[in-house]
Amino acid sequence: MFSNNRPLVSVAVPMYNNSRFIGDTIRSILGQSFSDFELLIYDDQSTDDSFDIAASFSDSRIKLFRNPVNLGPEQNWNRAISDVRGRYVKLVCGDDILFPECIEKQLAVLDSSASAGISLVSCPRTIIDSEGKSLIKKVNFVAKGRNEAVDVIRKMIRMGTNIIGEPVCGLYPAELIGKINGYSAVVPYTIDLDFWIQLLKHGDLYMIDEPLCAFRISNVSWSSRIGEMRQQQFLEFMEQVASDKRHEVTDLDMFIGRINCAVQSMTSLMGFKLFASHE
């Protein structure tokens, strides 16, 4: 049960050495058109000025924590969602950006009378570089509106890539946290997709057909550091998903997915290397 003095939304920010970007991330969250949220920031023993920058913001909605030891992404992400008070949760990495109406528009879906059976609301993202410049204005592979979980998962396998979006793209009911296993970095590249699929075992995906956030790529981002392992890890993830009969993944889905995964991985790796050469 949620009492009246609890925020409607919890925004959790796991942070590690994000001093270049964390100020912009926090400002984008505090600048939301919807204001009834708490902002939980968990610093994972950063060795730069990330903690001090986060601490410089004065807003009663912010709670800033510093882990006693470095936990790594998996444990810090799980800690970030372990003590939320809101009815709905959004995890934003310490270098990503929310556009001003992100929470308001996603919340309108989950807080409506037609939200029964929806376990995740997502949206397209804009890809930005380290300077905040848009590299790709809109990335979206899922149809607007409500999508059955099985259809989303099978399409993701066939396309061999993340069609739901990074953590910054999603908003989901807090009550589901206790029903799933949390973030798992057994396959590091797909830590976010594994989480989304766990949520989709409890309901459908609703996609808003409008970019409401920005996912940043830089030569210091975790996604770029593990980029060269993408194909191997995504194939491993596909096998795990296909092994669950509830997902109804066929041999043809896997065949098409392996081909597309190789293409997506090559394109992604070339993009990261080209970007890094200009950083």
Task: Give the DSSP letter string of the chain.
Answer: ---TTS-SEEEEEEESS-TTTHHHHHHHHHT-S---EEEEEEE---SSSHHHHHHT---TTEEEEE-SS--HHHHHHHHHTTT--SSEEEE--TT-EE-TTHHHHHHHHHTSTT-TTEEEEE--EEEE-TTS-EEEEEE--S-SEEE-HHHHHHHHHHHTS-SS--GGG-BEEGGGGGGS-----SSGGGHHHHHHHHHHTTSEEEE-SS--EEEE--TTSHHHHTGGGHHHHHHHHHHHHHTSGGG---HHHHHHHHHHHHHHHHHHHHHHHHHHHT-
Which tens digits make up the pLDDT trace of 167-192?
999 999 999 999 999 999 888 889 99
Query: Is residue 223 predicted with pLDDT exceeding 80?
Result: no
Tens digits of per-residue pLDDT, 78-128?
999 999 999 999 999 999 999 999 999 999 999 998 899 999 999 999 999
In the sheet that holds 9-15, the strands lie side by side as 62-66, 37-43, 9-15, 88-91, 172-173
The dotted CATH code for 9-277 is 3.90.550.10
* Cross-strand partners of 168: none
- Rg of the chain over all Cα atoms, to the nearest angstrom: 18
**Entry field: residues in the chain:** 279
The pTM for the full model equals 0.90
- CA distances from residue 188 to 13, 147, 202, 227 in whole angstroms, order as listed: 18, 26, 23, 10
Q: How far apart are CA 202 and CA 13, in angstroms?
A: 24
Contact 205/94 with Cβ under 8 angstroms? Answer: no
Query: According to the model, what pLDDT value does residue 186 have?
Result: 87
**Closest by Cα among 73, 83, 84, 265 to 186:** 73
pLDDT digits 0-9 by tens, 199-215? 999 999 999 999 999 99
Residue 156 above 50 pLDDT? yes
Strands 125-128 and 134-139: antiparallel
Give 229's pLDDT tier (boundaries 50, 70, 90).
Answer: confident
